[in-house]
A and B are shown apart, each in its own frame.
Chain A
Amino acid sequence: MSSESIIVEQLSKTYQVPEREGGFGAAVRGFFKRKYKDVKAVQEVNFKIEQGEIVGFLGPNGAGKTTTLKMLSGLLHPTGGTANVLGFTPWELKPDYLRSMTLVMGQRNRLAWDIPAADSYLLAQAIYRLSDDDYKKTYKELDELLELEPLMKKPVRNLSLGERMKVEIAAGLLHRPKVLFLDEPTIGLDISGQVKIREFLREYNKRTGATILLTSHYMADVTALCERIIIIHHGQLKYDGGIANLSRRIAPFKLIGVRLALSEDEGLGDSNGRDLSKYGDPVQNEEDAEKVYVRVKAEDVTKVTSRMLSELPIHDITIADPPIEDVIERAFNE
């Protein structure tokens, strides 16, 4: 038996999206004869993943990550190419395959909202035909790693986001899958929540030798867990290799955000319109309009910051890692 648990060859998915114009007349015409537009979500992607590897699957929103994960888990039929996971073709949805893999999507709930997770776990036990002994053993292990017990008796809707993610992930692992597809497993969690999930995944991988393919918005997830990274952009594979090599390709940089204390008659807050281009590349940020951001090379951060502090009436300053999309967009779009 080969040691590769996932083999993907020339995998492609093209969606046909109906083109709709506005208006009633167009809707009527569209009812009889629809125009379709092809959207190539995934284009001829190839990769192989060894048993026991943890691989980070990265790309900006809409790059085709989720589509690929859905094909590998069996939810979506590809329009071309093949995939082989643990010897199965995923989209045949063979029960034996479904029993040996799991898909966890950070933004979707698997557990019933109104009842305690313990009850949903019992249902999973019945669905996956787990013997009481096996179930108890697995549960005990998961409890050890995630401290589930205090969360089991409360209705899921009463759990915090972080707690809910823990019970959700554990629910997907009760049947001891050999392959884990995790789509944004840490999304929305605070830093300590992210760290906990990360540590759990590392430990789980070490103990069970399960293969993990995960997508994440957070660079830290990936750098902490994965030695290997696959990057996909506009549906195409852009990079497949070690994380160290990647950082050589992407010049590391940071984002400095400042809020300026303006003179009294101007009031405080609106820092927009100030030209900071002499410190670095100005960056648009819609989430926080009161701050202005500049992109600066990582090694220059200290220098630039001290210059800004001495030259500008700074009210508030932050230094942050740029979002992962940004990094990839810059690295592969140019």
Chain B
Amino acid sequence: MHSFKLISTFIKINIQMAVAYRADTVVNILLNLMWLGWELLTLSIIFSNTQTISGWGFGELIALLGVFRLINTMMVALIWPNTEKFNQSIRDGSMDYTILQPVNSMFLVTFSRITIWRIWDLILAIVLITVGINISGDLVTPLSIAHFILLAFSGVVIIYSLWIVLIALTFWFTKFDNNVTILHALIDAGRYPSTVYPIWLQIIVTFLIPIAVATTVPLQALRGDLEGWRIIMFFAIGIASFIVASQVWKRGLKQYSGASS
């Protein structure tokens, strides 16, 4: 309950900020629409030249774009702004205040900045997924929807956990303010099914920076392409990665306070 109250306070504050910089917000919405147009244009160019791309049709890639935007929304609305704030707070020392608040610091670091207007991206993502599935003619059952939601959720958790680990590294290597570049760089690989990539890149986006697990995999579940044990495995990976990330964060805080070693 308390967490909800805190998040709603954070949202309130961030609305204030969005209002204070409303012209920027409008410009950003326009740019966002421009990129959506760009993404749809690239898909239509691809499919004016081919029927399928490694077994995926036009509708399925639209749906994949929707799933990608789901992850991307988390990135843009939470992760990038909070990374910026986090790195700033390590540089200027205001991290000290964050640690001394009687609330879980990982929670505070995650939610203190929220790019509010990006929430509409979520709606857009759901529209893209629905429209895409419709175009593709794939058979969708309530069970496969449930699988999709489960795996999309664990995909989000896996990427989030990776982020926590990456920023927690700053506690050990204080000058590491490039901490999220690798995530930033590879996120775009989620726009296309991971099977189009050469094998070494597939390994990277599945195991190292598991962006494919958050985009391609849930959509495979929605199409009914995924065996039951895989679904359970990916979900288990989601939970495990969150546990690992929380532990790394705790260790990081200990390192910061000099309790380790």
* Interface check B20, CB cutoff 8 A: yes
**Complex Cα gap A73–B97 (Å):** 10
Q: List, in ascending order, chain A residues with CB within 8 A of B108's CB.
A: 127
Within 8 A of B (CB), among A95-154: 95-96, 98-99, 103, 105, 107-110, 112, 114-116, 119-120, 122-123, 126-129
* Interface check A74, CB cutoff 8 A: yes
Partner of A108 from the list B13, B93, B99 (CB cut-off 8 Å) is: B93
B44 shortest CB reach to chain A, Å: 40
The 10 sampled A-B contact pairs (Cβ below 8 Å) are: A79-B258, A93-B100, A103-B100, A112-B13, A115-B17, A119-B12, A120-B13, A126-B5, A126-B6, A128-B101
User: Are A77 and B258 also in contact (CB < 8 A) when A119-B13, A127-B6 are?
Assistant: yes
- Interface flags, B118-146, vs A, CB<8A=1, else 0: 00000000000000000000000000000
Contact of A109 with B9 in the complex, beta carbons under 8 Å: no
Q: List, in ascending order, chain A residues with CB within 8 A of B16's CB.
A: 115-116, 119
Partner of B17 from the list A13, A74, A114 (CB cut-off 8 Å) is: A114
**Complex Cα gap A56–B241 (Å):** 47
Partner of B259 from the list A77, A98, A107 (CB cut-off 8 Å) is: A77
* Interface check B103, CB cutoff 8 A: yes
Contact of B17 with A76 in the complex, beta carbons under 8 Å: no
Contact of B13 with A122 in the complex, beta carbons under 8 Å: yes
* Interface check A218, CB cutoff 8 A: no
* Interface check B227, CB cutoff 8 A: no
User: Are A98 and B5 also in contact (CB < 8 A) when A77-B258, A110-B94, A115-B13 are?
Assistant: no
Residues of A within 8 A of B (CB): 13, 15-16, 70, 73-77, 79, 91, 93, 95-96, 98-99, 103, 105, 107-110, 112, 114-116, 119-120, 122-123, 126-129, 155
Q: How many chain-B residues does the 8 Å CB contact rule pick out?
A: 27
Contact of A108 with B257 in the complex, beta carbons under 8 Å: no
Interface of B is mostly: helix
User: Are A110 and B13 also in contact (CB < 8 A) when A16-B261, A77-B258 are?
Assistant: no
Residues of B within 8 A of A (CB): 2, 5-6, 9-10, 12-13, 16-17, 20-21, 92-94, 96-97, 99-103, 108, 254, 257-259, 261
Q: List, in ascending order, chain A residues with CB within 8 A of B101's CB.
A: 98, 127-128
A181 shortest CB reach to chain B, Å: 10
Q: List, in ascending order, chain A residues with CB within 8 A of B102's CB.
A: 95-96, 98-99, 127-128
Q: List, in ascending order, chain B residues with CB within 8 A of A155's CB.
A: 20
> Residue of A at shortest CB range from B21?
A114
List 3 tightest A-B contacts by C-beta distance, closest first. Answer: A77-B259, A95-B102, A98-B102
> Residue of A at shortest CB range from B7?
A126
> Counting chain B CB atoms within 10 Å of each CB, which of A74, A75, A77, A129 scores highest?
A75
Partner of B257 from the list A75, A96, A107, A126 (CB cut-off 8 Å) is: A75
> Residue of A at shortest CB range from B85?
A112
A242 shortest CB reach to chain B, Å: 31
- Given contact pairs A75-B100, A75-B257, A91-B259, enumerate 12 new A-B contacts (beta carbons under 8 Å): A13-B258, A15-B258, A76-B258, A77-B258, A95-B102, A99-B102, A114-B21, A115-B13, A119-B13, A120-B13, A126-B6, A127-B6
Partner of B97 from the list A93, A110, A129 (CB cut-off 8 Å) is: A110
Q: List, in ascending order, chain A residues with CB within 8 A of B92's CB.
A: 108-109
A22 shortest CB reach to chain B, Å: 16
Contact of A76 with B257 in the complex, beta carbons under 8 Å: yes
